[in-house]
C-alpha cells in the first residue's frame, strides 16, 4: 500500500505543506512541535480539509480532483496521543465500539496486544500503556486499511513506551498494516520508521 500526499493548508499565519510518496511499512513524520505534523494526519483522516492538493492511499483518492471522502469512508484507524477511551464504558465495550457489527478478529487482536485481562476494567483504572494498547485495539477492530498514529508514545514512561513500540512493530511487520506516524522523538522515528520524513 502507498501514501501519496501533496497538500497545502493555511492555519492562521502559517502554512502547512507536505509532498510525500511512500510505500509499505511505517512512514514517520518527524520534527519539532508546531510544524504541522498533526495537521497532516488530520488531513489524511478527513478531519481537516486541505486548501489544495491531493491525498491518495493505495490508489484510492481520498481528497483531490473533486473528491473529498468523509472520514468514515476513508477506513483510517486513528490513535491519538491520549488514549481517548470512553470513560463510561468498560474496556470490552470500548473495543467493541471500534468493531461495530463485525467482531471477527476480536480475540486475535486483543491477544497480540496483551489486553485480554483488561476487558472488564474501567478506563480510569488503566495505566497509560494499558490505555494506549486498548486505543490501538479499538482502532484495529474498525478494520482499517491504514493506521494514523499521533505521538502515541509521548505521554508514557519508558517501560510503557517499550510495550507500545513492540505493538507498533508487530502491526508494521507481522500484520503489514501501513502506518503514518507523527513524532518529535528521533529515537522513535529511527526505530519505527521504514522511512522518516523531516518536517
Domain range for 58 is 3-198
Give the mean pLDDT of 127-133.
88
Which pLDDT band, with edges at 50, 70 and 90, does 160 fall under? confident
Percent of the chain predicted with pLDDT > 70 = 99
Residue 39 has pLDDT above 90, yes or no: yes
CB 171 within 8 A of CB 179: yes
Edge-to-edge strands, sheet with 195-198: 76-79, 146-150, 179-183, 26-30, 195-198
CA 145 from chain center: how many Å? 11
CB 146 within 8 A of CB 177: yes
pLDDT digit string, tens, across residues 170-192: 889 988 888 999 998 899 999 99
The domain total for the chain is: 1
* pTM score of the predicted model: 0.89
Higher pLDDT, 26 or 112: 26
d(CA 195, CA 89): 37
CATH number at residue 114: 3.40.50.300
In the predicted model, what is the mean pLDDT of the chain?
90
Amino acid at each position: 500500500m502507498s501514501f501519496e500526499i501533496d497538500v497545502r493548508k493555511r492555519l492562521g499565519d502559517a502554512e502547512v505543506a507536505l509532498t510525500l510518496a511512500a510505500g509499505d511499512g511505517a512512514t514517520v513524520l518527524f520534527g519539532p512541535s508546531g510544524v504541522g505534523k498533526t495537521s497532516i494526519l488530520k488531513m489524511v483522516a478527513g478531519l481537516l480539509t486541505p486548501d489544495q492538493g491531493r491525498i491518495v492511499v493505495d490508489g484510492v483518492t481520498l481528497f483531490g480532483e473533486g473528491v473529498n471522502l468523509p472520514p468514515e469512508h476513508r477506513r483510517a484507524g486513528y490513535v491519538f496521543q491520549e488514549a481517548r477511551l470512553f470513560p463510561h464504558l468498560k474496556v470490552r465495550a470500548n473495543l467493541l465500539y471500534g468493531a461495530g457489527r463485525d467482531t471477527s478478529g476480536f480475540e486475535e487482536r486483543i491477544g497480540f496486544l496483551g489486553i485480554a485481562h483488561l476487558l472488564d476494567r474501567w478506563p480510569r483504572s488503566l495505566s497509560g500503556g494499558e490505555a494506549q494498547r486498548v486505543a490501538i485495539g479499538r482502532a484495529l477492530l474498525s478494520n482499517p486499511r491504514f493506521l494514523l498514529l499521533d505521538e502515541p508514545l509521548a505521554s508514557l514512561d519508558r517501560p510503557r513506551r517499550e510495550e507500545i513500540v513492540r505493538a507498533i512493530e508487530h502491526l508494521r511487520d507481522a500484520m503489514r498494516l501501513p502506518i503514518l506516524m507523527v513524532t518529535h522523538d528521533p529515537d522513535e522515528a529511527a526505530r519505527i520508521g521504514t522511512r522518516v520524513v523531516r518536517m
